[in-house]
Amino acid sequence: MGSLDEQILRATKEIIVKFIEVGRLTPTGFEETFKNTYQTIKETVKDIQEAPAPQGKKK
């Protein structure tokens, strides 16, 4: 597993733990919520990586 995958997994875990702490997630919905959260983060990171680098401001 690459470093980026590990970071995505770690971020997903932190979000899921927070959902559990605030009572928004129960064991019944864990699997679906974890998969959806992981996929959303992964797609967001991929979109950011594929976006062209911003150009500096012209003076």
Quote the pTM value: 0.78
What is the domain partition of the chain in residue ranges? 3-48
Distance of CA 39 to the CA centre of its chain: 7
For CA atoms 24, 28, 31, 36, give the dihedral sign. negative
Average pLDDT per consecutive 10 residues, the chain (59 residues; last block may be shorter): 90 96 93 97 91 72
